[in-house]
Amino acid sequence: MIKVADSIAEMTELVLPNDTNNLGNLMGGRLMFWIDVCAALSSMRVTKMPCVTAAVDDLIFLAPIKLGDAVNLKAIVTRTFHTSIEVCVDVYSEKLSTGELHHANSAFLTFVCVDNTGKPLQVPEVTPVTPDEKRRFEEALKRREERLRKRSLLQKKSS
């Protein structure tokens, strides 16, 4: 049995000048990169196989992250499906001079486990234990249905 907690991946990054825009704020693209990496690590803790990003839900930037801040990311698998995995990543900025933390972003990502030819593979189930894990596990099904609905609309537009 794989517990949801077995999938936790944590990263800390320091915001350096090359990571910022001309206002001294962390660039959104850099944060998206870090979110994707952290979520991939979490998904691979469950599958023990390569996983690729299939979807990223809305990214809402709650507050700017400044030059010199630390960015703390924590990813956890919320639920697995047949070949896909939903991962939640919470992002906090940390003022290193004070230790003050601010919630900066949260995102849900979907990954697909693949073999070396890119063919999707079945993924193991995860078991939620805590009340929060169980709540996110149940909510993941609704988010998945909405993603599949959006995907269907996009496919219709492109054909």
Two tokens, residue 42: 């979490």
* Per-residue model confidence (pLDDT) at position 159: 77
* Per-residue model confidence (pLDDT) at position 59: 85
* Per-residue model confidence (pLDDT) at position 156: 84
- Cα distance between residue 91 and residue 25, in whole Å: 15
With 0.75 as the threshold, say if the pTM is over it: yes
* Per-residue model confidence (pLDDT) at position 6: 97
Q: Which fold has domain 2-158?
A: Thiol Ester Dehydrase; Chain A (3.10.129)
Tell me the mean pLDDT per 10 residues along the chain, length 159: 97 98 97 98 96 92 95 98 97 97 96 94 97 96 91 84
* Per-residue model confidence (pLDDT) at position 89: 97
- Cα distance between residue 39 and residue 74, in whole Å: 8
What is the residue extent of each domain of the chain?
A: 2-158
* Number of helices (H), then strands (E), in the chain: 2, 7
DSSP state of 5: G
Q: Amino acid identity, residue 88?
A: C
Q: Are 83 and 43 in contact (CB under 8 A)?
A: no
Q: 156: which residues sit within 8 A by CB, 6+ positions away?
A: none
* Per-residue model confidence (pLDDT) at position 143: 94
Two tokens, residue 90: 């919470």
pLDDT in tens, 23-45: 999 999 999 999 999 999 999 99
Handedness of CA 15, 17, 19, 24 (dihedral sign): positive
Q: Amino acid identity, residue 69?
A: D
